[in-house]
Structure 1
Amino acid sequence: MSSDAMRDRKHAALQRLARLEGQVRGVIRMIEDDRYCVDILNQTLAIRSALAQVEVLILEDHADDCVEEAIASTNPEAQREKFRELVGIFEKICR
């Protein structure tokens, strides 16, 4: 995979995380200010959605770098390890 694509995803992930940091601070202020519960929950849902987008970017990098490298290595144990990692991540997502 192109290192440009990976660099772009890294940059996008860092930007999204910086925005998320601001959103979390905003939720803290909302709670401190005794804002309406539904408004707070809507903000936390937006944070979860944005964090999921960051996870997708990181997962794409993992697939394009680590998994691709294991496949190209023709090492069955390395391939199984990367496959198990992916399955483990998907199991956690499904919980």
Structure 2
Amino acid sequence: MKKLLTVKSFIIGIGIILIDLAVYIFFGLLLMNYDDFYDESKGEYWSWESMSGFDKAVVSGIHVWNFINVMGVCYLAYKAIKKVKQRATIE
């Protein structure tokens, strides 16, 4: 039974990673619009002044998604440390 849970957890983990990559690809495709139609007269490249509202929303979405990823990694590190400490106290 434990091996089945391990395989199931592995498949779920791979699925989460693939969804994460799909979200980054989606944001990247949305940002291609900014890169294709960038106008130097509007401001420096990647500055807020040179972006449309849509581009600002996409960049903000990437920042939010990065924050979610960092929090997820911190959570997984916390769970791993907690599990290692629990095993150390049992032995």
TM-score after normalising by structure 2? 0.50
Residues 56, 14 of structure 1: CA spacing in aligned structure 2 closer, same or farther, 3 A cutoff? farther
For the residues of structure 2 that align with 1:51 and 1:29, how far apart are their CA atoms?
Answer: 22
**2:60 paired with 1:41:** yes
Give the structure 2 partner of residue 72 of structure 1.
Answer: 90
Shift, 1:58, TM fit: 5.2
- 1:70 is matched by which residue type in structure 2? A
User: RCO (CA 8 Å, sep 6+): is it higher in 1 or 2?
Assistant: 1
Identity of aligned residues (%): 4
- For the pair shown, which has the larger CA radius of gyration, 1 or 2? 2
Contact (CA 8 Å) 1:27, 1:43: kept in 2 or not? yes
Structure 2 residue runs without a partner (length 5+): 35-53
Please, which runs of 5 or more residues in structure 1 have no aligned partner?
Answer: 74-95
Two-structure CA RMSD over aligned residues (Å): 3.1
- TM-score, L = length of structure 1: 0.49
Question: How many residues in Structure 1 have an aligned counterpart in Structure 2?
Answer: 70
